[in-house]
């Protein structure tokens, strides 16, 4: 992934639940930049139909771990934490795209 406005690749570290936010994905930026308004590639979560999650908050985190800038991502209408954990286990890569980007026709 290269160039501005191209989205981001996040290596998943964990998924937690925060009061008032729901499921929050914790990970490391491997490419690009995570920003509010980006959407995930289509994901199947639990028994629900495939959908995209919209990023509503990007929190920069401090960490002693190596591996790029850690971030916490919160989503609009977040799925259940366990569904997100099953779909995106630690070590997997979450791809974020700009709204209206490739394949954005399906919500």
pLDDT tens per residue, range 57-102? 999 887 666 666 789 999 999 999 999 999 999 999 999 999 886 5
Confidence of residue 47 (pLDDT cuts 50, 70, 90): confident
What class has domain 8-97?
A: mainly beta
Rg (CA), the chain: 13
Cα–Cα distance list, 87 to 37, 50, 68, 92, 102 (Å): 21, 11, 22, 9, 21
Would you say residue 55 has pLDDT above 90? yes
Rounded CA separation 10/79 (Å): 18
């Amino acid at each position: 992934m290269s160039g501005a406005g191209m989205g981001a690749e996040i290596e998943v570290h964990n998924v937690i639940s925060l009061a008032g936010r729901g499921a929050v994905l914790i990970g490391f930026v491997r490419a690009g930049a995570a920003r509010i308004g980006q959407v995930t590639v289509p994901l199947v979560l639990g028994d629900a139909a495939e959908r995209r999650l919209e990023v509503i908050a990007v929190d920069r985190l401090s960490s002693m771990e190596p591996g790029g800038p850690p971030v916490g991502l919160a989503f609009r209408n977040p799925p259940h934490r366990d569904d997100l954990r099953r779909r995106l286990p630690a070590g997997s890569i979450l791809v974020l795209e700009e709204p209206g980007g490739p394949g954005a026709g399906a919500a």
